[in-house]
Structure 1
Amino acid sequence: MAVLVNNLQEKTAVDDNTAAFLADAAGKVLSAAGYGGDAEVGLVFVDDDYIHKLNHQYRGVDSPTDVLSFAMMEGIPMAGGEEETILGDVVISLQAVGRQAKEYGHSFLREAAYLTIHGVLHLLGYDHIDEDKRKIMRLKEEEIIAALDFRGAK
């Protein structure tokens, strides 16, 4: 499985270890969902201004957010895409990660991992539109977070 990381911002430093850890977190979600080597997800790191524009353009919400998921598996399957399953992109505002990590009292890496997991679950069809779906999604998020080893991560 491929998790492609693209850093489109310069306000928050992202080292290779952090990018690899978050790619691994995304991979754990895909593995837990039964996807093998043919699955592909993009992780895109942006700043608040960038995600604000996306949030306004695609959701009609005129404010920044922490994470957006753009699923490729919705609608009619594309012809010729049998070799790889391109699930979509998860766009994360690293400025929001920093704020929320402080607000919730945990590390930047833990918050970034949580948002990565949350975004990938959206790509897989999970949602939190109502209380029952929110509980299911939250349980899955916590299960994956618990499977990560933050001790060796920077």
Structure 2
Amino acid sequence: MKILYDASEGAGVLEAELLKTLEKAASLCVESEGIDPERTEVSLTLVSGEEIQTLNRDYRGVDRVTDVLSFPQYEDIRELPQEGDIPIGDVVICLQKVREQACEFGHSQEREMVYLFVHSICHLLGYDHMEKEDKDEMRAKEEKVMKQLGLERKTDERGI
């Protein structure tokens, strides 16, 4: 899994170890879908609260700060190219929300960052959480990956 990483000015920088964990997390997500992680790439951008609010407003019509946005490259993962690199989409994470939510949920910022990234990769792979059945399926996938990384949640702290 190749992560094309960028951080906007003032958004913060990811440490190399965390970036490796994110690569492993994304690899686990795509492998479980039968996609070769060696051919797969995703764009990751860290932004400020103001920047993600603008993106949220412009792309989703929701004028508020959010934690993560996902922009899939493919509507259906069955449409992936058979050869060459597979760019699955773009992930935008608000570092300010990572800090706030880590504190709110009582876990590390690393865990929150990885969870939001896994959540977003699931969206890029076609998962959603609008209906209960879909939410349960997506949650199970997220929890499986987080457990494989040793970052499982200790309590039922999320209602996404």
How far apart, in 2, do the equivalents of 1:115 and 1:59 lie?
Answer: 18
Deviations for 1:6-65, whole angstroms, at most 9, x for unmatched residues? Answer: 222424343222222222222221122221122211121111111111000000000010
Shift of 1:124: 0.3
Aligned pairs, how many?
Answer: 148
TM-score by length of structure 2 reads 0.84
How far apart, in 1, do the equivalents of 2:26 and 2:69 lie?
Answer: 14
How far apart, in 1, do the equivalents of 2:42 and 2:130 lie?
Answer: 23
Aligned residue in 2 for 1:8 = 8
Shift of 1:71: 0.5
Asked if 1 retains the 8 angstrom alpha-carbon contact of 2:12 and 2:46, the reply is no
Question: Which residue type is aligned with residue 148 of structure 1?
Answer: L
Greater shift, 17-26 or 103-112, is seen at 17-26
Matched, 1:52 2:74: no
SS in 1 for 2:14: coil
Gaps of 5+ in 2: 152-160
SS in 2 for 1:126: coil
Asked if 2 retains the 8 angstrom alpha-carbon contact of 1:25 and 1:113, the reply is yes
Aligned residue in 2 for 1:21 = 21
Asked if 2 retains the 8 angstrom alpha-carbon contact of 1:5 and 1:23, the reply is no
How far apart, in 2, do the equivalents of 1:73 and 1:82 lie?
Answer: 15
Greater shift, 136-145 or 81-90, is seen at 81-90
Q: CA RMSD in A?
A: 2.0
Consecutive aligned runs of 4 or more in structure 1 exceeding 4 Å deviation: none
Question: Which residue type is aligned with residue 22 of structure 1?
Answer: L
Aligned residue in 2 for 1:100 = 101
Aligned residue in 2 for 1:72 = 73
Asked if 2 retains the 8 angstrom alpha-carbon contact of 1:55 and 1:62, the reply is yes
| 1:143 to 1:69, Cα distance in 2 relative to 1, 3 A | same
Aligned residue in 2 for 1:139 = 140
Question: Which residue type is aligned with residue 42 of structure 1?
Answer: S
Shift of 1:147: 0.5
How far apart, in 2, do the equivalents of 1:91 and 1:106 lie?
Answer: 21
Greater shift, 135-144 or 19-28, is seen at 19-28
| 1:10 to 1:16, Cα distance in 2 relative to 1, 3 A | farther
TM-score by length of structure 1 reads 0.87
